[in-house]
């Protein structure tokens, strides 16, 4: 852990620092409240020991200020003037524990073990919440595809290092999942894993999401926000669809990758963070760099270790394996007994182009698991665009316009290689096509 010791007695600072360093932790020690706030604003700490009396200042008044800079910080109040009232007040203001002076190394060790356990439980809870939120079964790693086997092997090799990783592949190929696995296989596995989707926010909000902001930095900034970089200190930050990062933010990310330094929005204090960065893209970053949409120097900084995930249409031998894995997951989730796929259904899965890749296969199997009332999924439980033939519908037939549109979109999707190509054929943008697919359950 990173530990901050705040005490106006030099001997206490030295003794406590030596103890924590002997336990393998990094310690910063200061004698007053101003220096404590300066350190807290420059660096991310896990634990702070705060003396109740700091010269003319009160350690109690310092607690909320430290928590404003780092809401996750665990604070232990230490004092030679222990009383029930001060202990209660310290806890009310946000302290985690209270330790009267003089204390022994055994008492410090007990506090340290307790805080370590609390932090570990919080990180495990956060990870579990994220897993539940994703509600997504892992992709089968024991792939029979040589290309996929190579990608997984590269991920395992690079996981032990701190190298920046660039994951390339079409949308839905499993880049997010592989990023999580790299973190889980790394020495940082017990530290935070954060995800930022670059296309999901405006440039201003994305900057705040990444680097944080201070109260009053912009309209709506009603309190300090540490940002994902500070929250992931010591862990891994995954930037999804990095090719959509606004040009205005690219120099700031480049600087952070080079120096691990940044500033919050609306604040001039330079901060540092120890983070492993993984990025992913489904676009050609080299082409984007040539047209000026992506900084070339940022591309070089990101592309330290490249891993390419093959599209599902190049992993035909994996389709039935993946489909069965998803079926087992969704059968259990829906409290159903499903054994597998009929031969006709299996062939339909294998003969489809899968423009949405593994994500699309997951959605198709989830739909089939809901519709199937027997032990085996049949072709009738699959979307129409996966079936060998679609029901004939001609212009002028007595059917709703929506049905004509649905069948036309299904046919175009079945005969194109990507959503972008299908949208171009249909004469609509990809966002509209995405909404139509959601509307018709395609």
Among 220, 226, 232, which Cα is nearest to 193's? 232
For residue range 177-192, what is the model confidence (pLDDT) as tens digits?
A: 999 999 999 999 988 9
Q: What is the pLDDT of residue 392?
A: 53
Answer whether CATH 3.40.50.1370 is correct for domain 2-119. Answer: no
The pLDDT value recorded for residue 306 is 96
Q: Is the pLDDT of residue 24 over 50?
A: yes
Say whether pLDDT at 279 is over 70.
yes
What is the C-alpha to C-alpha distance for residues 216 and 265, in angstroms, rounded to an integer?
10
Q: What pLDDT digit, counting tens, does each position of 422-437 carry?
A: 888 999 988 888 888 7
Per the model's pLDDT, the better-predicted residue between 320 and 42 turns out to be 320
* pLDDT value for 127: 63
In whole numbers, what is the pLDDT of the chain averaged over residues?
86
DSSP element (H, E) containing 433: helix 430-440
Q: What is the pLDDT of residue 285?
A: 94
Mean pLDDT of the 341-364 span:
89
Which two structure tokens, joined as six digits, stand for 364? 């198709």
- What pLDDT was estimated at residue 182? 95
CATH 3.40.50.300 segments of the chain: 145-310
- pTM of full prediction above 0.85: no
Between 165-169, 261-265, 383-387, 395-399, the lowest mean confidence (pLDDT) is in 395-399
What are the tens digits of pLDDT across the range 52-110? 888 778 888 889 888 887 888 899 998 887 677 888 888 888 888 888 888 888 988 99
pLDDT digits (tens, 9 = 90+) for 107-128: 889 988 888 888 877 777 766 6
- Region 373-400 average pLDDT: 73
Work out the average pLDDT over 389-407: 69
Q: Give the per-residue pLDDT at 229.
A: 92
Give yes or no for a contact between 94 and 64, defined as CB atoms under 8 angstroms apart.
Answer: yes
User: Residue-wise over 239-273: b if at least 16 C-beta within 10 A, else e?
Assistant: bbbbbbbeeebbeebbebbeeeebbbbebeeebeb
Average pLDDT over residues 242-264: 93
pLDDT at position 414: 65
Between 267-271, 302-306, 403-407, the lowest mean confidence (pLDDT) is in: 403-407
Report the C-alpha gap between 348 and 386 in whole angstroms. 6
- Beta carbons of 184 and 238 less than 8 angstroms apart: no
| Host H or E run for residue 230 | helix 228-231
The answer, yes or no, to whether residue 221 has pLDDT greater than 80, is: no
Q: Superfamily for 145-310?
A: P-loop containing nucleotide triphosphate hydrolases (3.40.50.300)
Looking at residue 50, its pLDDT comes to: 92
Summarize the confidence of residues 261-267 as an average pLDDT.
Answer: 89
Note the pLDDT of residue 390.
47
Q: What is the pLDDT of residue 394?
A: 62
Condensed to tens digits (0 to 9), the pLDDT of residues 129-171 reads 555 555 455 555 678 888 899 999 999 999 999 999 999 999 9
User: Where are the domain boundaries for CATH 1.10.8.60 in the chain?
Assistant: 312-387
Between residues 32 and 81, the one the model is more confident about: 32
Band of residue 314 on the pLDDT scale cut at 50, 70, 90 = confident
Percent of the chain at pLDDT > 70 equals 92
> How high is the pLDDT of residue 153?
93
- CA 11 from centroid of its chain's CA atoms: 42
CATH of domain 312-387: 1.10.8.60
Instruction: With cut-offs at 50, 70 and 90, classify the pLDDT of residue 391.
Output: low
Average pLDDT over residues 299-328: 91
Q: What are phi and psi of 419, to 5 degrees?
A: -65, -35
User: What DSSP character marks residue 391?
Assistant: P
Reported confidence tier of residue 365, pLDDT bands at 50, 70, 90: very high
Query: If you classify domain 390-442 with CATH, what class do you get?
Result: mainly alpha
The answer to whether 205 and 220 are in contact (CB under 8 A) is no
Helices marked H in 23-72 — which ranges?
A: 33-42, 59-69
- Percent of the chain at pLDDT > 90 equals 36
């Amino acid at each position: 852990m990173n530990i901050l010791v705040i005490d106006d007695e030099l001997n206490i600072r030295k003794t406590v620092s030596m103890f924590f360093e002997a336990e393998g932790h990094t310690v910063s020690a200061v004698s007053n409240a101003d220096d404590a706030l300066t350190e807290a604003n420059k660096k991310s700490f896990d634990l702070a020991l705060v003396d109740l009396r700091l010269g003319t200042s009160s350690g109690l008044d310092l607690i909320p200020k430290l928590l404003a800079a780092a809401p996750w910080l665990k604070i232990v109040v230490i004092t030679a003037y222990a009383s029930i009232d001060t202990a209660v007040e310290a806890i009310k203001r946000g302290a985690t524990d209270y330790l009267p002076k003089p204390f022994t190394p055994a008492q410090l060790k007990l506090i340290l073990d307790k805080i370590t356990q609390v932090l570990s439980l919080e990180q495990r809870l956060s990870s579990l919440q994220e897993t539940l939120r994703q509600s997504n079964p892992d992709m089968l790693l024991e792939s029979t595809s040589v290309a996929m086997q190579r990608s997984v092997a590269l991920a395992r090799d690079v996981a032990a290092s701190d190298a920046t990783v660039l994951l390339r592949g079409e949308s839905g190929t499993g880049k997010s999942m592989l990023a999580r696995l790299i973190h889980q296989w790394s020495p940082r596995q017990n530290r935070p894993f954060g995800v930022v989707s670059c296309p999901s926010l405006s440039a201003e909000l994305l900057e705040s999401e990444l680097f944080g902001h201070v109260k009053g930095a912009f309209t709506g900034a009603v309190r300090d926000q540490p940002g994902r970089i500070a929250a992931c200190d010591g862990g891994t930050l995954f930037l999804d669809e990095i090719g959509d990062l606004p040009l205005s933010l690219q120099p700031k990310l480049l600087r952070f990758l080079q120096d691990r330094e940044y500033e919050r929005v609306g604040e001039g204090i330079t901060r540092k963070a120890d983070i492993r960065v993984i990025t992913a893209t489904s676009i050609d970053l080299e082409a984007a760099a040539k047209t000026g949409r992506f900084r070339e120097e940022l591309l070089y900084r990101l592309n330290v270790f490249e891993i390419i995930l093959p599209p599902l249409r190049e992993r035909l031998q994996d389709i039935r394996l993946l489909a069965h894995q998803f079926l087992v997951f969704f059968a259990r989730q829906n409290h159903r007994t499903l054994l597998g796929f009929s031969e006709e259904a299996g062939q339909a899965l294998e003969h489809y182009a899968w423009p949405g890749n593994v994500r699309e296969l997951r959605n198709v199997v989830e739909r089939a698991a809901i519709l199937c009332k027997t032990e085996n999924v049949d072709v009738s439980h699959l979307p129409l665009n996966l079936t060998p033939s679609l029901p004939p519908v001609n212009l002028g037939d007595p059917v709703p316009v929506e049905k004509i549109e649905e069948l036309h979109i299904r046919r175009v999707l079945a005969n194109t290689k990507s959503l972008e190509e299908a949208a171009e054929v249909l004469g609509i943008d990809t966002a509209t096509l995405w909404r139509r697919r959601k509307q018709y359950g395609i």
